[in-house]
Amino acid sequence: MSKSWFLKRLLSSFIVLAAVLVLNFLLFRMMPGNAVSTIIDPSFSPEAKENLRALYGLDRPLWEQFVIYIRQMLTFSFGLSFLSRKPVWDELVSRLPVTLTLTVSSMAISSALGVWLGIKAALNRGRLAEKIVLRASAVTSSFPGFFVQLVLLMLFARALPLFPLRGTLSVPPPTGALDIFLDYGWHMALPVLSLSLMGFGGWALYVRNLMVRALNEDFALMARARGLSRGRVVWHAFRTILPPI
């Protein structure tokens, strides 16, 4: 990796980040209406409306609002939420455990499933198993996430109420650590399933292509010629495609 390539990538990343920040700042101010109208009652006095605008810094010039916006982004001080009137940082932190659970669980399941299917497809080149894996991976990767999640909700939470429709715990919540854990897993099962279905396709295609190349290398051909078992040949081929630690 050359130094110039790294610097170009770093510069392009900063440019993209700057463009996202500027667009995020301008788009919400170019939209019809204003932020204050979403949090005030029509019966509020003009003084109350101005106090709210001052509270959120909306009474200042646009360039000064942008400076405040950048400073708050860099210091992770996001102010108050328009809807809950609570600090935005507290709202983010309160949702972090659920987000991490969804992300880590779905990533682990989708990667494990994708790797297994990719190896199976590589070992069955030209057969029905490979065609099924390739087509299933292409279909699941092409569908938008919100569509898949809505369909799963309609099927398994609405039509067939096998899973809860919302929330992370039942109301009222169960008592006992084990019951709470099982209830939490029941509520998280459908979201994790939807994210896993959308994520395994890329892993399967990637691993399949790498394994096909590895199994055709000289060391794999020599191993098969020497009578090594299929499992050992696959394991040694799989080790070659793993990133170096």
The model's pLDDT over 129-164, given as tens digits with 9 standing for 90+, comes to 889 999 988 888 887 878 888 888 888 888 888 888
Rounded average pLDDT over 19-25? 86
Average pLDDT, the chain: 83
pLDDT at 39: 59
Distance CA 153, CA 187 (A): 12
β partners of residue 87: 80
Say if CB 142 and CB 197 are below 8 A apart: no
Biggest alpha carbon distance in the chain? Answer: 88
> Rounded to an integer, what is the distance from CA 227 to the centroid of its chain?
44
- What's the pTM? 0.71
Find which of 39-53, 139-153, 196-210 is predicted with most confidence, using mean pLDDT.
196-210
pLDDT over 90 (residue 107): yes
| Residue 55 tokens, joined | 């509270």
